[in-house]
Structure 1
Amino acid sequence: MSSPSAPAPFGTADAPRVAVRGEARLEVDPEIATISINVSARGTDRRTALEDLTRRNAAALELVKSYGDAVEKLETGSFSINPELTHKGRGERIRAYHGRVRLTADLADFTALGELTTRLSDLELTRVDGPWWALRPTSPVYAQARTQAVREAVVRAREYAEALGTRLVALLELADDGSETSTADYRPMNVGYGGMMRGAAAATEAAPALDLEPQRQTVHAHVNARFTMAPPTL
């Protein structure tokens, strides 16, 4: 008994194929914003640098945590304490110690974001970078984009079939061509370092909250689809 022959790769006269590409592009508001918090300390001996760094890190953590549910995630990314050597003299002498702690925080409440960034930058030797706007990995927007891309592929294939005076018969293949999120060219905000010393008036006045405008996110989705058509009359 002979084995069935493999289908022709490009269809036949009795079962012509049509291959199309479906695309979707959605612009939506971001769901989260990420900021980077860099806490620093400097001292002439290691113990002083560590104590100052520990105190400032605790103050930054306490401030971020005080915003409760507005902060979805708070993580410590890195810690370092390293000596600064003098460049004069024959021997290796330590001039000072530099300590750094890097924190990252994800916020979903953009109203609290502007206030938090300015309050953080008002702390001693604390630098804030960001925000970086994004969608959550589980955002339903990705599924919406994929669904729209599939529908676009079906509509496009049907238009080709109708142009030949025929109709689609069956779906042979649907391949996900990948999806990606892209945004416009963006330079992160650098709030800067809080001052080491402040006057009495500056110490009691609250820093004004930054007015941050969320950056729209663009989601792309692409699919490749192949269909068979009923034989057209040419």
Structure 2
Amino acid sequence: MTTPTPTPYGTPDSPRVAVRGEARLEVDPEIARIGITVNARGTDRKAALQDLTRRNAAVLDLVKSYGEAVEKLETGAFVITPQLTHKGRGERIRAYHGRVHVTATLTDFTALGELATRLADLELTTVQGPWWALRPDSPAHRDARQQAVREAVQRAREYAAALGARLVALLELADEGAENLARPAPPGLGSMRSRGHGGAMEAAEAPPLDLEPQRQTVYAHVNARFTMSPPQL
């Protein structure tokens, strides 16, 4: 006896309905990241390394002084590059240029503006950001997925009701993913370079930046297939 092969579109007695559920939520960010680059340059390699080490330590100490406001502090790239002279023959080194890149992740947005301003006020230090984001396990992702499923069920019910039928069973629920697709945030702080040595302005501390967190957009999409009772045509 041959088993009948199920048709992808159901049967007149058990029609199928396929729908797509979507959700789009606007939520406040949970974290903010700033990038910090420390620079040093000198004609002596050892002196350049010492300056870079000292300035990097000052950055790390300042960030760590904010305690629980800083969720994560990571050192990325370290580079020391000899710069050759453009004139003459041979490999004559004109100077050494070094830099260290550090990324800080903060959860306290009140402290963010103050920290960014103080970092930018350090010697030969560049600050970029902030970049607002949600955590990968943010409840907002779960909420968006659940809302997408509810919309798929509601849409399928409306289609069935339009035919004088009702939903009978769920056949398939395909998750297309729910992820944070927020528009890339333009660097809210721009690129702030610190001042050099000397100058009367260094005695006065710059006021903290007033930063407004950028709301994040969370999307979710699901495909669902149901069977429904025979329609009343």
> What is the TM-score with the length of structure 1 in the denominator?
0.96
Q: Does 1:56 align with 2:55?
A: yes
**Secondary structure of 1:196's match?**
coil
After superposition, the C-alpha distances for 1:88-125 in whole angstroms (9 at most, x for unaligned) are: 11121100000000000000000000000000000000
Structure 1 contact 182–219 (Cα < 8 Å) conserved: yes
| Equivalent position of 1:126 in the other structure | 125
Q: Shift of residue 185 of structure 1?
A: 5.2
**Secondary structure of 2:190's match?**
strand
| Equivalent position of 2:219 in the other structure | 220
Write the distance in 2 (CA, Å) between the matches of 1:179 and 1:107.
Answer: 24
**Residue pairs, 1:20-59, within 5 angstroms:** 20-59=19-58
| Equivalent position of 2:195 in the other structure | 195
Change (3 A) 1:112 1:118: same
Structure 2 contact 75–100 (Cα < 8 Å) conserved: yes
| Equivalent position of 1:99 in the other structure | 98
| Equivalent position of 2:182 in the other structure | 183
| Equivalent position of 1:5 in the other structure | 4
Write the distance in 2 (CA, Å) between the matches of 1:80 and 1:163.
Answer: 66
Write the distance in 1 (CA, Å) between the matches of 2:225 and 2:214.
Answer: 37
Identity %: 71
Write the distance in 2 (CA, Å) between the matches of 1:83 and 1:190.
Answer: 28
| Equivalent position of 1:14 in the other structure | 13
| Equivalent position of 2:75 in the other structure | 76
Structure 2 contact 185–214 (Cα < 8 Å) conserved: no
**Residue pairs, 1:124-163, within 5 angstroms:** 124-163=123-162
Structure 2 contact 113–211 (Cα < 8 Å) conserved: yes
**Secondary structure of 1:8's match?**
coil
> Which letter maps to 1:87?
H
Structure 1 contact 127–190 (Cα < 8 Å) conserved: no
**Secondary structure of 1:22's match?**
strand
Q: Which aligned segments of 4 or more residues in structure 1 are displaced greater than 3 angstroms?
A: 201-204
Q: Shift of residue 186 of structure 1?
A: 3.1
User: Structure 2: 5+ residue runs without aligned partners?
Assistant: none
Write the distance in 2 (CA, Å) between the matches of 1:184 and 1:233.
Answer: 46
**Secondary structure of 2:58's match?**
helix
Write the distance in 1 (CA, Å) between the matches of 2:64 and 2:203.
Answer: 21
| Equivalent position of 1:233 in the other structure | 232
Greater mean deviation of Cα atoms: 204-213 or 20-29 = 204-213
